[in-house]
C-alpha cells in the first residue's frame, strides 16, 4: 500500500464527493454548547484530514496525539472531517451517559456496522437491538458457568506456551524473545478451543492459514476507520480471500458440531448431567439453546468470529503490556513473584481458586488495564440529538466515541501521578477513591464485556506460571511503539530477555 497514492486518492475522492450544505440549528442545539473542534483552514477540513492520514501512515501514535489535543481543547472534542462529526468524550459522566443512562440512543450504528460487516457480519459486537439482545442472552450463561474455573483448559494451553519458550531458551539463550506474537498465538489457541471446541494450533505453527487470515482481516478493517470513503480506496478482493479462509475453517467446525449433536440425539441412554457436561464450548452451548427453527451456519459463524476477536486480542494485549510494565519495574515483578511463592509455591500448577488469592497480582493487572486498556477507544453513533452531562450538544446520526485510554490518564481523576505505573493505587487504602466510570477497560452498562472474568483468569494463570518458571528482564535498547488500533498492541512487538529461574535450593 503506497502511502502517497493512498493519501492522494483519499483527498481526491473526498474533495469530489462533498459540497457545503447549510444547516439550520434545532431548538436543542441552539440552547446547548457546540463541542470544541481543532482549527481547520481549508474547506471540508481537508487540511486536518490530510494531516491525520499522513500521521497514521507515518506510524505516529494517535492516542498520544489525542492527549495532546485534549490539553488544548478539553475533555470533549469534535474531530470534524469532510463536514462529518466525530466526537470523542473522556469524562466519566459522559461515558456513563453513553453506556448506561442513555444507552439506547448510542448504538453501533450503520457506519460502524458497515466497516466491520465483511469480517464480523451480524455478530454480537457488530449488532444492535433485538439481534444483539438475543445473542447476548444466549451466550451469557456459558460465560457465567464454572466450566473454566478449574483452569484445566487454560493451563493446557499455558503448558504449550511454556514449551515454545523453553525451545527458545534452549536454542537462543542470549537472544531476546518477542512475546506479543507468542501471546497472540497462545490466546488464539485457548479462545478457539473455548469457543469452537477445536484449537487453531497457532503455538505449534506460527503461520497457520487461519491466524494469518485473521490478522489480515483485523488490520485492514482497522484502516477502514481511518480512510474517508474506504469503500472506494482500500482493497476488498484480498480481504474477502482471507475471510473465506476463516469461513472454511469455521464452517467445518460448525458442521462437525452439528454431527455431534445429531449423534447425541440418537443415543438411548443419557442422563441430564451427562448432557450438560458436554456443552463445554460456546458453539455446543448455542446449538443446545436453539429453537425449532435452529440457527443457520452464517449466524453461528458470525457469533464465533465476534467472540474470537474479543477473546484473543484483548487478553494477548493485556499479557503483552503487563510483561512490558513488569520488566520496566523489576521491584514490582519481584513483589509479585514473592506473593506467588507464598500463596502457590515455586512449581505447583495453580487453579482458579489459587489465583483469586493473589491480591497484589490483581492490583498489577488492574494498573496495566488502566494505562494500557486493550480497547482504547470505542465508537458509537447517536440515534437522536442529545446533550451530554457537561452541556455539549450531540447531533443525531454522528459518531460519538469514548476513549478510555485518555480517561484512565486524566490527572483530575487519578492525581498528578496519573501517568505513573503504581499498582498500590489499587490497594485497600486507595481503591475507594476510584469512582464509577473512571475505570472501564471492559466497558460498562448493558454491553459490559461477558468475558472479563475469563480474561482475568487467563492472564493471571499465564502470568503466575511464567513468573514461577522464568526470570524476565528488559531487552537493552528496546522500546515498544504503541499502536491504537481496534485493540492496543505494540507496532514492533514486545521484546524481553528470558531465562529459567534457578531452583530455590540453589538460591
- Binding region for heme: 449
Q: What is the CA radius of gyration of the chain?
A: 24
Contact 8, 38 (CB under 8 A): no
For residue 122 the three cell numbers come to 451480524
For residue 366 the three cell numbers come to 488492574
Helix (H, G, I), strand (E, B) or coil at 114: helix
Phi and psi at 348, nearest 5°, equal: -70, 135
Phi and psi at 390, nearest 5°, equal: -85, 5
Q: Which residue has the cell 454522528?
A: 398
Distance separating alpha carbons of residues 257 and 232, to the nearest angstrom: 39
For residue 482 the three cell numbers come to 504503541
Contact 83, 44 (CB under 8 A): yes
DSSP symbol at 84: B
Annotated binding site: 449
For residue 166 the three cell numbers come to 523453553
Query: β-strand 86-89 against 399-403: which pairing, if any?
Result: parallel
For residue 447 the three cell numbers come to 454491553
DSSP symbol at 417: T
Distance separating alpha carbons of residues 493 and 64, to the nearest angstrom: 18
DSSP symbol at 44: G
Amino acid at each position: 500500500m503506497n502511502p502517497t497514492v493512498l493519501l492522494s486518492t483519499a483527498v481526491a475522492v473526498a474533495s469530489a464527493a462533498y459540497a457545503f450544505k447549510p444547516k439550520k440549528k434545532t431548538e436543542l442545539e441552539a440552547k446547548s454548547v457546540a463541542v470544541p473542534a481543532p482549527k481547520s483552514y481549508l474547506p471540508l477540513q481537508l487540511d486536518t484530514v490530510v494531516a491525520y492520514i499522513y500521521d497514521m501512515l507515518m506510524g505516529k501514535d494517535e492516542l498520544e496525539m489525542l492527549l495532546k489535543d485534549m490539553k488544548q481543547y478539553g475533555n470533549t472534542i469534535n474531530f470534524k472531517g469532510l463536514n462529518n462529526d466525530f466526537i470523542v468524550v473522556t469524562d466519566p459522566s459522559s461515558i456513563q451517559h453513553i453506556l448506561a443512562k442513555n444507552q439506547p440512543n448510542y448504538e453501533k450504528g450503520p457506519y460502524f456496522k458497515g466497516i466491520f460487516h465483511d469480517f464480523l457480519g451480524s455478530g454480537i459486537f457488530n449488532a444492535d437491538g433485538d439481534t444483539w439482545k438475543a445473542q447476548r442472552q444466549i451466550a451469557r450463561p456459558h460465560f457465567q458457568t464454572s466450566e473454566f474455573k478449574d483452569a484445566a483448559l487454560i493451563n493446557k494451553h499455558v503448558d504449550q506456551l511454556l514449551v515454545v519458550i523453553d525451545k527458545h531458551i534452549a536454542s537462543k539463550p542470549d537472544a531476546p524473545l518477542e512475546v506479543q506474537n507468542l501471546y497472540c498465538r497462545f490466546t488464539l489457541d485457548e479462545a478457539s478451543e473455548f469457543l469452537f471446541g477445536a484449537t487453531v494450533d497457532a503455538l505449534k505453527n506460527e503461520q497457520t492459514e487461519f491466524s494469518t487470515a485473521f490478522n489480515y482481516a483485523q488490520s485492514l478493517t482497522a484502516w477502514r476507520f481511518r480512510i474517508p470513503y474506504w469503500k472506494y480506496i482500500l482493497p476488498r478482493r484480498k480481504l474477502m480471500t482471507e475471510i473465506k479462509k476463516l469461513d472454511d475453517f469455521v464452517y467445518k467446525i460448525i458442521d462437525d458440531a452439528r454431527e455431534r449433536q445429531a449423534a447425541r440425539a440418537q443415543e438411548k441412554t443419557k442422563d441430564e448431567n451427562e448432557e450438560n457436561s458436554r456443552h463445554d464450548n460456546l458453539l455446543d452451548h448455542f446449538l443446545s439453546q436453539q429453537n425449532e427453527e435452529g440457527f443457520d451456519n452464517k449466524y453461528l459463524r458470525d457469533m464465533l468470529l465476534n467472540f474470537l476477536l474479543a477473546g484473543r486480542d484483548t487478553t494477548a494485549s493485556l499479557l503483552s503490556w503487563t510483561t512490558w510494565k513488569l520488566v520496566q519495574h523489576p521491584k514490582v515483578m519481584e513483589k509479585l513473584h514473592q506473593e506467588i511463592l507464598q500463596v502457590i509455591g515455586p512449581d505447583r500448577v495453580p487453579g482458579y481458586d489459587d489465583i483469586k488469592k493473589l491480591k497484589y497480582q490483581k492490583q498489577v493487572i488492574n494498573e496495566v488495564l488502566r494505562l494500557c486498556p486493550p480497547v482504547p477507544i470505542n465508537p458509537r453513533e447517536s440515534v437522536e440529538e442529545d446533550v451530554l452531562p457537561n452541556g455539549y450538544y450531540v447531533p443525531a446520526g454522528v459518531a460519538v466515541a469514548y476513549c478510555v485510554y485518555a480517561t484512565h490518564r486524566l490527572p483530575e481523576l487519578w492525581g498528578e501521578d496519573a501517568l505513573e505505573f503504581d499498582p498500590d493505587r489499587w490497594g485497600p487504602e486507595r481503591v475507594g477513591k476510584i469512582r464509577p466510570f473512571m475505570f472501564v477497560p471492559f466497558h460498562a452498562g448493558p454491553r459490559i464485556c461477558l468475558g472479563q472474568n475469563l480474561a482475568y483468569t487467563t492472564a493471571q494463570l499465564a502470568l503466575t506460571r511464567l513468573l514461577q518458571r522464568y526470570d524476565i528482564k528488559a531487552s537493552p535498547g528496546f522500546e515498544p511503539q504503541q499502536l491504537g488500533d481496534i485493540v492496543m498492541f505494540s507496532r514492533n512487538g514486545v521484546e524481553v530477555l528470558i531465562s529459567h529461574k534457578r531452583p530455590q535450593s540453589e538460591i
